[in-house]
Structure 1
Amino acid sequence: MSRSADVLIVGGGGAGASAALHLARRGAKVILLERGLIGSQASGVNHGGVRQQGRHPAELPLAIRCREMWGRMKELVGTDAEFEVTGHLKLARSAAEEAELLRWNEMAAGYGLHPRMIGRNAIRADHPYFADCVVAGSLLEEDGAANPRLLAPAFAHAAREAGATVLERHPVTAMARQGDGFVLEAAGETFTAPILLNTAGFWGGQVAAAFGEPVPIAPLSPNMMVTEPLPYFCPHSLGVVGGNVYLRQIRRGNVIFGGGRGESDAAVPVSRPLPAPTFNAMQRAIEILPQLAGAMIIRTWSGIDGETPDDLPVLCRSRTTPGLIHGFGFSGHGFMLGPVVGAVLSELVLDGGTETPLEGFDIGRFARQDAPEDVWKTPPE
């Protein structure tokens, strides 16, 4: 059996599902192929952060545009995915970390963002539940959090209603460029189109390599946990300079937090959290919020994302293959960006370009031996 489309999409996370929706609503015939279930890997297993706070400068234009999209998510896909404007409070635990917050805030002001710096006395008065190790914080009040389990399926549902074909349990087993287009094999079927979008997460590296442009990408499995419901006390989504623990309390009282890495086998694929990183993350969380010391962990989980050496995604046209466009490798902080990445990919396909700056995401950067080490690192979300 053979099916043809205007655009084939490989990967059904937030970016791929969003691309399918944006393309279908503009009249393109779209087929999305997902190896498992929609949103079952990186897009669905993260902390749920919807934040501009702490991002690499290259990502800020994407994040700022996407924050506007999150404000109208229900209009866009029929649900807000439990998005709540909680503010993102990034904490410093030393004078050096406080200086890092100030440095980022100064940079972000050039993009029109103005986090509120909270010093030692004020943070103690405003947040008496923090331990003494917290010496300062930076609050970006318009940031928030959402339920990652809901986002990609909502986009996929809306894409289907707009006319896109979304196929789960369709792992791609062969791909090639033939003539003026692409031919893919998946689940015993053949799919053809002149345009191919690579939104396959960690496996996006394999897609890129199949067309002659390998990317140094590694599997990243976040080590995630959630507590039993506790009395509600912490209204903000919390991060720390360095990103070694991140947490938020939902209205039901559960505290969702993460830190460290689990383990995975991307060939299966399967992933799981590990005891030692879990205990380390628990200890770091208690060091910030002492009242978590007696809380019961009721569930742990992980998934598989793709991590690049500079923690930035690949979001660009292929340098080797006409019609191939990449959007993968979000290195643990792509949940918030999925909706806007899909919009950008649709613009690259249908408009030939986008007004959103993408210079930092070109796949050719990995071939440059003299590229300087980047001082900005975006923590997970």
Structure 2
Amino acid sequence: MSRRLNVDVAIIGGGLVGSSAALALRGMGMSVALLDRRFCGAQASGVNYGGVRRQGRPPEQLPLAQRAHAIWPRLKALIGIDGEYMRSGHLKLAASEADMASLETYAARVADYGLDLELIGHNELRRRFAFLGSGIVGASFCPGDGHANPRLVASGFAAAARRAGVHVMENSAVTGITRNGQGFVLEADEAADITARIVINSAGAWGDSFAATFGEPVPLTRIYPSMVVTEPLAPVLTVNIGMEGGGIYARQVERGNCIVGGERTQPFADPDFSRPNSESTLLMMNRAATLFPGLRHAHVIRSWSGTEGMMTDRNPVIGPSRTTPGLIHAFGFSGAGFQIAPGVGEVLAELVRDGRTTTPIEAFSITRFATDAEPTIDRTIHGSGAEQIVEPQQRGV
């Protein structure tokens, strides 16, 4: 028997962005359906490194990061668990004088954003962070940043949304979307038909396909980060650590396990899936052992990968569709969506309710990828491949 729902908002993608938006919308009294092709939080939101950092983000992302920064300490009240969130501080290391100069330039650029960055020279760095190995020139420290457990946080937002009354529909891939005069009709697996006034496309690495459905192609590619976790160890790392220019990142949780990342792996023949390999695992651990001598004899107990959407400019797509009233995009977070996702959820809820948001998001508009040759149209795409083009409508949500 077909399941039919009529809701205010249908959200495609049950990752941290989609589930936090669903929870925020329910708090505004709206009816919401949250659909995921597999399980909520099982893709990039649940398998990432878990860094909760503002440091290193481009300035245009910092207002959004600051909004999210105010949400993280309230996780327990918001979703019922703390998600192992720890405001440990984030230390970004410089392995050369050029890297240190880059950190200094960045600190000057973002001085007015409230990150309270502290530049630390070699001698002071060794005194305060004795766990570091040799070869580090200096660092930049952001005391308010930290880390959390993505597996707990991503599923925790989805569970909180369900408790709040969101229709959470897992294993329900969207197979068709029809734009009609009043909103949208969505068809999904499990014979579900949903009508909604607003649709949010938060489909992660699959978000570009839904955007293209409505005449908005974007330059999204997929990346497959590789990460490992060690056995529980005595305290080794007291802060969340990254490297200027990339290369390695690491953190240690309260029970002693160290999470290390910095490599990428390759997908299977089915690009939805990937698997870490022994070469990348060995390379990451060798780098980590050089930087952090306390990891030299650590045993890796698990490794994993995931699928993330990468934009050419490394900024996400957030905001109203250029072609289709009632469609809002939020995808392409380029491996850096974990910290800002709860803030994005609030922004999306404001866009639905008010048609605007108090947080600047102009830099993330999908219009930055538009070309003069692209028509501004509404499209109707069905799983069978049928297509209907209707007259252009006024832009906006």
Give the match for residue 276 of structure 2: 273
On the 8 A contact 1:82/1:146 being kept in 2, the answer is yes
Give the match for residue 98 of structure 2: 96
Give the match for residue 292 of structure 2: 289
Q: Which runs of 5+ in 1 are unaligned?
A: 370-381
On the 8 A contact 1:108/1:114 being kept in 2, the answer is no
Deviation, structure 1 residue 345: 0.2
d(CA) in 1 for partners of 2:84, 2:269: 30
Give the match for residue 5 of structure 1: 7
Deviation, structure 1 residue 266: 8.9
Deviation, structure 1 residue 122: 0.5
Give the match for residue 245 of structure 2: 242
d(CA) in 2 for partners of 1:94, 1:120: 11
Give the match for residue 88 of structure 2: 86
Give the match for residue 33 of structure 1: 35
- With the length of structure 1 as denominator, give the TM-score of the two structures: 0.94
- With the length of structure 2 as denominator, give the TM-score of the two structures: 0.90
d(CA) in 2 for partners of 1:89, 1:268: 34
d(CA) in 1 for partners of 2:5, 2:58: 40
On the 8 A contact 1:312/1:361 being kept in 2, the answer is yes
Deviation, structure 1 residue 184: 1.3
d(CA) in 1 for partners of 2:309, 2:178: 23
* Alignment deviations for residues 149-184 of structure 1 (CA, whole Å, 9 cap, x no partner): 111222112212222111111111112212221111
Give the match for residue 355 of structure 2: 352
| Total equivalences in the alignment | 369
Give the match for residue 383 of structure 2: none
> Radius of gyration: which is bigger?
2
d(CA) in 1 for partners of 2:293, 2:370: 46
Q: Which amino acid aligns with 2:325?
A: P
Give the match for residue 130 of structure 2: 128
d(CA) in 1 for partners of 2:170, 2:193: 15
On the 8 A contact 2:46/2:155 being kept in 1, the answer is no
d(CA) in 2 for partners of 1:367, 1:285: 42
Give the match for residue 205 of structure 1: 208
d(CA) in 2 for partners of 1:351, 1:255: 43
Alignment partner of 1:54 is 2:56: yes
* Alignment deviations for residues 232-256 of structure 1 (CA, whole Å, 9 cap, x no partner): 1211000000122110011221110
On the 8 A contact 1:259/1:278 being kept in 2, the answer is no
Deviation, structure 1 residue 354: 0.5
Q: Which runs of 5+ in 2 are unaligned?
A: 373-397
Mapping of residues 88-237 of structure 1, within 5 Å: 88-187=90-189, 188-237=191-240
On the 8 A contact 1:31/1:167 being kept in 2, the answer is yes
Q: Identity rate of aligned residues, in percent?
A: 49
Deviation, structure 1 residue 42: 0.6
On the 8 A contact 1:319/1:364 being kept in 2, the answer is yes
On the 8 A contact 2:89/2:143 being kept in 1, the answer is yes
Q: Which amino acid aligns with 1:304?
A: T
d(CA) in 1 for partners of 2:100, 2:81: 37
Deviation, structure 1 residue 368: 6.1
On the 8 A contact 1:261/1:274 being kept in 2, the answer is no
d(CA) in 2 for partners of 1:251, 1:75: 21
Query: Aligned with 1:194: secondary structure?
Result: strand
* Alignment deviations for residues 302-348 of structure 1 (CA, whole Å, 9 cap, x no partner): 11111000111000100011100000000001011111111100000
Give the match for residue 257 of structure 1: 260
